[in-house]
Structure 1
């Protein structure tokens, strides 16, 4: 990978990243497609427009080399060789097809607090509605950021949410999840250390996150994969259950049985497998 600072942004050469597959695979909710095929999103209190300008060439518009090194390099998991990941998973005819369809998909390293709230909101919810709720929360309680002539809003920290009433937060259309979001904010404000999860084993980390109201196995595994980069995590939802049942002939519905099957089949690459399979099954159904 080569990085070049140019007037107006950063160009990254020799990087395998498909924008649609990455931003529309269900792992993030603040990136939106532009008419020119680029995507604009907000992360870590920064706004970025990113476009593909050639095979394995990306243009990160109106950002600095400092922000690239401090934020975007890690956020886009650019230190990871996804060609090697695909090679390690190769050999399963189902997964081979999924990897081909999801080629260029990268697992983002999102902010743990934002990821926590986002996936609490995701429970029993569809992606367009999740995006609307998160945007409402950001517009009401985040900070404005001017970028390329438009105003965007950062994701509010727990201190901005903790003192809200459930009735007030429900104005964002988050419904019953308002109670969980407020309780999560108060837990973090009172010392629940989200950063400590980075150093924990997958099982310790899952149990830690499940102490937060509104966080069950699936939400915890999403946060572990999409914020903490714990690629042994394998979030299980209706799409993944369908993959395991229809494509792998797996008949058990117990989460412990599923985890044993996944660990044996995919090992430490389970999270990558999950994303390829999730995207593959969802795209086939659409």
Structure 2
């Protein structure tokens, strides 16, 4: 292990592990009793804690700082992004509330599989499924606070899972079949993870939509969180309502809301979506009210 402390860096104001890891973009992490967070990326793990203007890090191995700083996107000027988008209605409140959010640079295979699991699902259930998949099919990569940590299974490791195990042990429900089929396509190279990154956003979206279990919202999440296509704007039911009621002031289909949101935010659409999602969910904005009996 290696310990590091980041002091008084210009990015610390816009860095909060709680906001980054709990805003719905990642599911492979734990909050510790001391308020720190332990997260897994590929075959490495890190523990991070924010204390005032300092960030304390524990890395699973030496010389991992640059990789983890890249994973947390510390080179990007989020303060500048916020200044450019907070003139739009609701954005000032959203960026102030979630100003510590950063968009992680995640592993493509893990992102594809976890966001297939995420469709019509709840974060606690998704998180448990990801941890169970890692524990059963991944590799043990170390321990922290007496708890074993596991990497998410790679395509070859994932191929050992059966449809019955995914449904009955991992509890992914109806997603079992599409997870198996998508895993096979990636393992065979039919969907090439390495070449995918060189495709244009539209071409990559088409390739992703061809994968079993990947719809428009999941495809955009993969584009944003695995391939850093910041011009995309994932639209789920929650964001749909927020945009209708507080940004555009009129109803529209998911496709229309997506198009108008991308036009509004341009190359920073993905950042805006994360601020709005985190703020809207926390404040109950856009929550559908139950009709009185």
Tell me the residue number matched to 1:12: 6
User: What RMSD, in angstroms, separates the aligned Cα atoms of the two structures?
Assistant: 1.6
What secondary structure is seen at the aligned counterpart in 2 of 1:199? coil
Q: Detail structure 1 runs of 4+ shifted over 6 Å in the superposition.
A: none
User: Is 1:134 equivalent to 2:130 in the alignment?
Assistant: yes
Tell me the residue number matched to 2:72: 76
Q: Does structure 1 conserve the Cα–Cα contact (< 8 Å) formed by 2:137 and 2:161?
A: no
| TM-score of the pair, normalised by structure 2 | 0.90
Tell me the residue number matched to 1:4: none
Cα drift, residue 263 of structure 1: 2.3
User: Is 1:221 equivalent to 2:220 in the alignment?
Assistant: yes
Matches within 5 A, 1:128-167: 128-148=124-144, 149-167=146-164
User: Is 1:252 equivalent to 2:252 in the alignment?
Assistant: yes
Alpha-carbon distance between aligned partners in 1 of 2:179 and 2:250, rounded to the nearest angstrom: 35
Cα drift, residue 80 of structure 1: 0.5
Alpha-carbon distance between aligned partners in 2 of 1:164 and 1:254, rounded to the nearest angstrom: 34
Aligned CA distance change for structure 1 residues 164 and 63 (closer, same or farther; 3 Å): closer
Tell me the residue number matched to 1:45: 43
Cα drift, residue 187 of structure 1: 0.5
Is there any run of 5+ residues in structure 2 with no aligned partner, and where? Answer: 286-293
Q: 1:111 aligns with which of 82, 107, 111?
A: 107
- Listed one character per residue, the Cα deviations across residues 116-137 of structure 1 (whole Å, up to 9, x for unaligned) are 0000000110000000111111
Q: Does structure 1 conserve the Cα–Cα contact (< 8 Å) formed by 2:3 and 2:59?
A: yes
Q: 1:184 aligns with which of 182, 185, 190?
A: 182
What secondary structure is seen at the aligned counterpart in 1 of 2:161? coil
Is there any run of 5+ residues in structure 1 with no aligned partner, and where? Answer: 1-6
Cα drift, residue 8 of structure 1: 4.2
Alpha-carbon distance between aligned partners in 2 of 1:252 and 1:238, rounded to the nearest angstrom: 12
Alpha-carbon distance between aligned partners in 2 of 1:130 and 1:164, rounded to the nearest angstrom: 17
Q: Does structure 2 conserve the Cα–Cα contact (< 8 Å) formed by 1:9 and 1:64?
A: no
Q: Does structure 2 conserve the Cα–Cα contact (< 8 Å) formed by 1:10 and 1:63?
A: no
Q: Does structure 2 conserve the Cα–Cα contact (< 8 Å) formed by 1:10 and 1:65?
A: no
Matches within 5 A, 1:200-279: 200-248=199-247, 249-255=249-255, 257-279=256-278
Aligned CA distance change for structure 1 residues 180 and 49 (closer, same or farther; 3 Å): same
Number of matched residues? 277
| TM-score of the pair, normalised by structure 1 | 0.92
